[in-house]
Chain A
Amino acid sequence: MPEIRLQHLRKDYGVLTVIEDLNLEMADGEFTVLVGPSGCGKSTTLRMIAGLESVTGGEIMIGDRDVSQLEPKERDLAMVFQDYALYPHMDVAKNMSFALRLARMNKTDIDKRVKEVAETLDLTAYLNRKPAELSGGQRQRVAMGRALVRDAGTFLFDEPLSNLDAKLRGQMRAELALMSQRIKKNMIYVTHDQVEAMTLGDKIVVMKFGEIMQAGTPEELYRSPANKFVAGFIGSPTMNFLNAELVDEAGTLSAKGDGFSIPLPDARKGALQAHRDRNIHLGIRPSSFAEGPGGLKMPVILSEYIGAQSVLISELGGQRVSIEVNTVAPIRAGEEREFTVQGDEVHLFDPKTEAAL
C-alpha cells in the first residue's frame, strides 16, 4: 500500500496557479526527491505536505488519512528547513527537545532521547550552546537532530544542504544517505541539485512549471528520460542536444546531421518508423562518446582537466558539444580527435513535444 499519495493537488495564489493537477505516490519507507529548477513548485508541494501552505484543491493522503486540511502538528511529520530554522534563544538541547517538551514527554525520557540523537550526530559537546555559537555545519546537524528526536512517520527536507559549502555538502550528503538507510522512514526531499537527487533518492520526481515531468528511480531517469527536459536536467555534464534528421540509409535508420550520421539499432526501427525523414532532436551524453579510430573527427576547443576525467568542449556540425573522456594523458586544446558514438546510447526527441521517441 502506498504510504503517501498526492491526488489532484492544486495550488493557487490569487489568480496565479502554481500547481494545477499533481498526482504522486510514495511507497512506505521510500526516499523521494523532488527536483527541478527554481519556481517549479517543488517547495510549494513540500510545504503543502507539511501543512505550512494551504491546499487549494485535491487530497494529501498519508496512509488512508486525508491530511490536507489538518494542522501541521496533526500530520506526524518532522521537517528540516533550508535556513535550519533553529530557535535562536534556545540552546541545542532545548532546540532538539522542543517538540518532546510540547508533547509533555517525561524529562528523563527526553534527556535520554536527546542524548542518543546528539551522539549519533556528534553534537554532544555542543548541547549547551546557542545556535549563534555554532558553525553552519553544526547548525545543520542540530536541525537534523531536531527532526530525528521526534521519531515522526515522515521526514521532510527543504533544500537542507544548499547553505553549506561544497565540501561540507558532500559530507552531509553521505551522512544523510547513511541515516536514511538506518531509519527507513518516509522521506521527502526537495533540492535543485541533481547530484543530491541522484545520490539520495530511491525515487526522483523531476518537476517543471508545477508539473511532474517524470518520476522514477535514478537509473530510469538517467537511462531512459521521458523527455528532453529530464534528459537535460539529469546527468552531469549536461546532455548534448543536436539537430538531426531521421533517414533510412540502405535499410538502416540513422540520425543524420551536419557532419555526422549515427546508425540506430534495428530494435528501435519499429518505434521510429513514423518519424522517418523528419527532423528530430538528438541527445548524446558526454560520456557516450568513445575515443577511437574511424569515428567522427572533432576539434578540441577547450579541455577541462578534472583528474581521472577530462571534459572536452568540441564542435559537431556547427553545434557545441561536450565530451567526457577518461584522462590517460591530459588532452590539449587545438588537437583533433576521433570519437565514436554507439547508436543504442543516443536519445531521440520529438522537436515539437520534446517527448522521447
Chain B
Amino acid sequence: MSTARANRLTPYLFLAPAGIVLAVALFYPICYMVYASFLDWNPSQRIGEADFIGLRNYTKLFSDAAFRESMWVTIKFSAVVVTIEMILGVGLALLLDRNIRGMSVLRTLFILPMMIAPIVVGLMWRYMYHPTVGIFNRTLTDWGFEPIPWLADGDWAFASIVIADIWQWTPFIFILSLAALQSLPASAIEASKIDGASGWQQIIYIKLPLMLPVLIVTLLLRLIDSFKVLEVILVMTNGGPGLSTEILSIRINRTASEFRELGEAAAMSNLLLIILLILTFAMFIYNKAQEVRAQRMRAVEEEA
C-alpha cells in the first residue's frame, strides 16, 4: 500500500472505534425497536418466539381512543408549555440584560431549576401540590380560600404539570435568549436609540428580529424535549387522573409494563421517534438555510 493511500486511510482508522460504538449503541436498539413493532410480543417470550403480525400494531394504534387521547395530551402539553416558556424566557432575558450589581448571581439562581434531577423536581412538586399538607393548599386555606384539587382533578392536574414544566425549563430559554441578546451588535441598538426608538420599539424592531435565528433553534429544541418528557409527570400524576395527563411516554411505559404489549409499545415509540425526527429535520434544514444565506452574502461581499 502506498504511503499516500495509508495516510488517507489513517483518519478512518482512528474514527472506527467511535463508529463501532455508535453503531452498537444507537443503530442496534433502533433496529431492534423497529423490528419489535411488527411483533405480537409479550415480556414472558424471547423475541424469537413472538409472532410476526406486520403492521397490525400500527393500525391498532390509530383506532385506539386511549392512544389518540394520549397523543392529543402530548401535543397540547408541548404547545402550551413551549409557548409560555418562550414568552417568559425571552421576556426575562430582555428584562435582565443589563449591568446591575448582583445580576450575575441572579442569573445563576435562575438556571438552578434546570440542574435539578427531573425525579426530584417531580417529587418536590408532588409534595407542594399535596391536597392537605402541600404549601399551595396550606397557604390558600390560611388566606381563607378553598383548597384546589391540584392533582386530583383532570384540568387542574394538566395545569399542574404545565406549571412544573414551565418552572423547570423556562431557564433554558432564558439563558439562550440572554446569550443571543448579549451578542447583538451594541452599536445597532445605540443607532436605534438615536433614531428615536423607545424601549419597546427597540425590542420589537431591532432586538427580536436579530435574535430570531437563535429563538427558532431554541423553540425547536424545546419542542423536541417536551415531546419526550416523562419523569416529572410520572412522579407527579402517573398520567392521571383518568387520562388527563397521560403523555405519550407514560402511555408507552404503561403499554409495555402494565399491559405487557411490547410490540405495541415499540410501535408507539416509533411514531414518537418519527415526530421527533421531523422536528429535528426542520431544525437541521433551518440551520442549513441560514448557512447558505450567510455564504451567499459573504460571496456578494467579496465580489463587491
Residues of A within 8 A of B (CB): 50-52, 71-73, 77-79, 81-89, 98-99, 102-103, 130, 132-135, 138, 146, 150
Is A81 a contact partner of B196 (Cβ separation < 8 A)? no
Interface size on B, residues (CB 8 A): 24
- Closest partner residue, chain A, to B304 (CB atom): A135
A72 and B297 in contact (CB under 8 A), knowing A83-B185, A88-B188, A102-B201?
no
Which stretch, B11-19, B202-210, B260-268, touches the partner chain A?
B202-210
- Is B59 on the interface with A (CB-CB < 8 A)? no
What is the CB-to-nearest-CB distance from A58 to chain B, in angstroms, rounded to a whole number? 21
Is B190 a contact partner of A81 (Cβ separation < 8 A)? yes
A153–B193 Cα distance when bound, in Å, is: 16
A132 and B301 in contact (CB under 8 A), knowing A81-B187, A83-B185, A102-B201?
yes
- B 175-206 to A, binary, CB cutoff 8 A, 1 in contact else 0: 00000000001011011111111100100011
Is B297 a contact partner of A73 (Cβ separation < 8 A)? no
- Closest partner residue, chain A, to B187 (CB atom): A85
- Closest partner residue, chain A, to B299 (CB atom): A133
Which B residues lie within 8 Å of A103 (CB)? Answer: 196
A133–B298 Cα distance when bound, in Å, is: 7
What is the CB-to-nearest-CB distance from A65 to chain B, in angstroms, rounded to a whole number? 17
- Is B300 on the interface with A (CB-CB < 8 A)? yes
- B 263-304 to A, binary, CB cutoff 8 A, 1 in contact else 0: 000000000000000000000000000000010011011001
Residues of B within 8 A of A (CB): 185, 187-188, 190-198, 201, 205-206, 209-210, 212, 294, 297-298, 300-301, 304
Which A residues lie within 8 Å of B298 (CB)? Answer: 132
9 contacts between A and B (CB under 8 A): A52-B190, A73-B193, A73-B196, A73-B198, A87-B192, A102-B197, A103-B196, A132-B300, A132-B301
14 other contacts beyond A102-B197, A146-B191, with CB at 8 A cut-off? A50-B194, A72-B196, A73-B196, A73-B197, A84-B187, A86-B191, A87-B188, A87-B192, A98-B195, A99-B195, A132-B297, A132-B298, A135-B304, A146-B195
Which A residues lie within 8 Å of B188 (CB)? Answer: 85-88
Is A102 a contact partner of B210 (Cβ separation < 8 A)? no
A226–B198 Cα distance when bound, in Å, is: 44
Q: Which of B196, B301, B304 contacts A99 (CB 8 A)?
A: B196
A23–B294 Cα distance when bound, in Å, is: 47
What is the CB-to-nearest-CB distance from B222 to chain A, in angstroms, rounded to a whole number? 23
Which A residues lie within 8 Å of B195 (CB)? Answer: 73, 98-99, 102, 146, 150
- Closest partner residue, chain A, to B210 (CB atom): A89
A81–B201 Cα distance when bound, in Å, is: 20
Which A residues lie within 8 Å of B187 (CB)? Answer: 81-85
A86–B206 Cα distance when bound, in Å, is: 11
Closest 8 CB pairs between A and B? A135-B304, A85-B187, A99-B195, A73-B196, A85-B191, A132-B297, A133-B300, A89-B209
